[in-house]
Amino acid sequence: MKPQTFLEFKETLKLEAPNANWSEALRSLWYEANGDWNASHNIAQDLHTELGSWIHAYLHRKEGDDWNAGYWYRQANKSFPNSTLEEELKAMIEYALNH
């Protein structure tokens, strides 16, 4: 079952893996929130949606590759953020839960 709120999502981080019935984007975000950048990136790079591009941008921003991140933010129709990584991750999770 898909979490309905950010707090419910955070509770799922205790599990060994995200629910297989979740969207690819939400699964990618789960892996990132659990500290598995590579698993998150492997999913995000195959998501050809604005949310997938946003996740991809965030992941490259996190690794310090601002040039690559900038490309993916443009693909997601987003400006390069001024928020912290934690704030951006929460925003993406909340977006994925509501769409």
pLDDT of 33-89, one tens digit each?
999 999 999 999 999 999 999 999 999 999 999 999 999 999 999 999 999 999 999
Given a cut of 90, whether residue 1 has pLDDT beyond it is: no
pTM: 0.94
Q: Tell me whether residue 1 is in a domain.
A: no
Domain assignment present for residue 85? The answer is yes
Domain-located, residue 75: yes
Please tell me the predicted confidence (pLDDT) of residue 74: 97
Tell me the C-alpha distance between 66 and 17, whole Å: 29
From residue 30, how far is each of 4, 68, 74 by CA, in Å? 14, 22, 23
Dihedral sign computed on CA atoms, order 11, 13, 19, 22: positive
Range of the domain at 31: 6-98
Count of structural domains, the chain = 1
Q: How far apart are CA 6 and CA 16, in angstroms?
A: 18
| Whole-number CA gyration radius for the chain | 12
Distance CA(97)–CA(57), nearest Å, equals 19
Cβ-in-10-Å burial (0-12, 13-18, 19+) of 79 comes to exposed
Q: Is residue 88 part of a domain?
A: yes
pLDDT tens track for 10-46: 999 999 999 999 999 999 999 999 999 999 999 999 9
